[in-house]
């Protein structure tokens, strides 16, 4: 496999803040205002799953996939029909780099369409996101609910379909601002190797790398579980985004892999702001900064340079915020911004 591991020596965000994607709002104008208010340096377009099922993270990127059926908020692929013509169309689009058929329209991504019309205030980068191929292929099944990732021809189609979606998104975001970040959101990578996910690591890597190859700018993976960190850290990504609030200590058990990732220019996006109601109600800026510094010290005490950890870091919520009330989601964005400011002020 081609080694695409990149260096991001020119991207040292030093604790700048961004978010993962989803918000609980239904008004895209309001959602974008909040993002630009709190995360102006690295704003990310908001996904709004409460606005429509089509903005669910799996439905949002499904339009145009071969054999896809949408029935009353249920997505599935009809494998009992001849999918050859649609698969050939997808492969032709892939070979010719035709991106327009893979655009995200207003009914699928109202937040993105509103974001593209926004006036930005001297950002460092703009961020987008797309569902990763492992999670997409495990959640969407066939008529018998068998995940389509277990069909080799459809698994390949998933990767190429999402690659085109990511490439189109990067193209339109780069018009807004030249430096772009595209995350693959891969919650199911946290279950790789378990009895529930029978996808061999080599196959998972091939599918993920296929999508990443279509991203020219900064690329990252967000995984909100207790993942196989060595597997993720060796992928050709610039940024690893994790739920540091719940799983930061497990990452600290892998200092050698973290050090190697940082040495090749990698950035860690520390999801230190929780996204559940109880936790976010009790945490403060001071408590979260303290929690984050404890994680940094865990790695520093094992030989990972503390200053490099800070320099090559981002601050985010632990995951998407759609499960919160609008008020608590705004609090999470505010905490993210303030933790970022405090970290940068104190270092």
pLDDT digits (tens, 9 = 90+) for 54-98: 999 999 999 999 999 998 889 999 999 999 999 999 999 999 999
**Quick one: pLDDT at residue 195?**
74
What is the mean predicted confidence (pLDDT) over 197-206?
Answer: 92
End-to-end CA, the chain: 40
Res. 126: pLDDT tops 70:
yes
What is the mean predicted confidence (pLDDT) over 233-258?
Answer: 97
Q: Classify strands 68-70 and 75-77 as parallel, antiparallel or unpaired.
A: antiparallel
pLDDT digits (tens, 9 = 90+) for 9-68: 479 999 999 999 999 999 999 999 999 999 999 999 999 999 999 999 999 999 999 999
**Quick one: pLDDT at residue 73?**
87
**Quick one: pLDDT at residue 225?**
87
**Quick one: pLDDT at residue 2?**
40
**Quick one: pLDDT at residue 196?**
78
Tell me how far the alpha carbon of residue 256 is from its chain's centroid: 24
**Can you say whether residue 69 is alpha, beta or left, with left for phi > 0 and alpha for psi between -120 and 50 degrees?**
beta
Query: pTM score, two decimals?
Result: 0.95
pLDDT digits (tens, 9 = 90+) for 94-118: 999 999 999 999 999 999 999 999 9
Contact 48, 113 (CB under 8 A): no
Q: DSSP readout, 148-179? A: GGGSHHHHHHHHHHHHHHHHHHHHHHHHH-S-
Q: Which helix (H) or strand (E) holds 136?
A: helix 133-139
Res. 5: pLDDT tops 60:
no
Question: 126 in helix, strand or coil?
Answer: strand
> What's the CATH code, domain 16-346?
3.20.20.210
Q: Give exposure, 317-329, as e/b (b: 16+ Cβ within 10 Å).
A: bbbbbbebebebb
Paired with 129 in beta bridges are: 183
**Quick one: pLDDT at residue 280?**
95
| Cα gap 52→30, rounded to integer Å | 16
**Quick one: pLDDT at residue 3?**
46
**pLDDT tier at 254, thresholds 50, 70, 90:** very high
SS3 track for 282-335:
HCCHHHHHHHHHHHHHHHHCCCCCHHHHHHCEEEEECCCCCCCCHHHHHHHHHH
Q: Which residue has the tokens 């054999």?
A: 67
Token pair belonging to 174: 């780069």
Within a 10 A sphere around the Cβ of 20, how many other Cβ atoms? 25
For the chain, how many residues are written? Answer: 347
Res. 217: pLDDT tops 90:
yes
Average pLDDT over the chain reads 95
**Quick one: pLDDT at residue 6?**
47
**Quick one: pLDDT at residue 261?**
98
| % of residues, the chain, pLDDT over 70 | 97
| Cα gap 13→68, rounded to integer Å | 39
Instruction: Tally DSSP H helices, then E strands, for the chain.
Output: 13, 10
**Quick one: pLDDT at residue 106?**
95
Res. 296: pLDDT tops 90:
yes
Res. 193: pLDDT tops 80:
no
**Quick one: pLDDT at residue 50?**
97
């Amino acid at each position: 496999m081609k080694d695409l591991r990149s260096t991001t020596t020119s991207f040292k965000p030093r604790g700048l803040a961004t978010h993962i994607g989803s918000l609980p709002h239904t008004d895209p104008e309001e959602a974008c205002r909040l993002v630009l208010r709190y995360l102006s340096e690295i704003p990310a377009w908001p996904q709004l799953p409460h606005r429509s099922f089509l903005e669910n993270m799996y439905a949002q990127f499904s339009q145009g996939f071969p054999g896809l059926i949408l029935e009353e908020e249920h997505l599935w692929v009809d494998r009992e029909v001849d999918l050859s013509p649609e698969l050939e169309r997808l492969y032709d689009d892939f070979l010719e780099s035709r991106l327009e058929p893979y655009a995200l329209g207003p009914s699928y991504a109202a937040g993105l369409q509103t974001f593209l019309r926004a006036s930005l205030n001297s950002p460092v980068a703009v961020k987008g996101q797309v569902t990763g191929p492992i999670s997409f292929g495990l959640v969407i099944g066939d008529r018998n609910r068998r995940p389509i990732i277990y069909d080799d021809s459809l698994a390949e189609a998933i990767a190429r379909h999402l690659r085109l979606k990511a490439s189109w998104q990067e193209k339109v975001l780069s018009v807004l601002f030249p430096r772009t970040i595209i995350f693959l959101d891969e919650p199911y990578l946290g279950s790789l190797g378990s009895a529930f996910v029978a996808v061999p690591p080599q196959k998972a890597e091939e599918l993920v790398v296929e999508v990443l190859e279509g991203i020219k700018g900064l690329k990252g993976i967000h995984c909100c579980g207790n993942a196989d960190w060595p597997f993720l850290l060796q992928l050709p990504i610039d940024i690893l985004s994790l739920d540091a609030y719940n799983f930061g200590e497990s990452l600290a058990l892998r200092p050698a892999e973290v050090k190697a990732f940082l040495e090749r220019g990698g950035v860690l996006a520390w999801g230190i702001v929780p996204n559940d109601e109880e936790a976010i109600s009790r945490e403060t800026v001071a408590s979260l900064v303290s929690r984050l510094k404890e994680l940094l010290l865990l790695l520093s005490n094992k030989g990972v340079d503390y200053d490099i950890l800070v320099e090559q870091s981002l601050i985010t919520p632990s995951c998407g915020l759609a499960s919160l009330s609008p008020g608590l989601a705004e609090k999470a964005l505010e905490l993210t911004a303030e933790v970022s400011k405090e970290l940068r002020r104190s270092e």
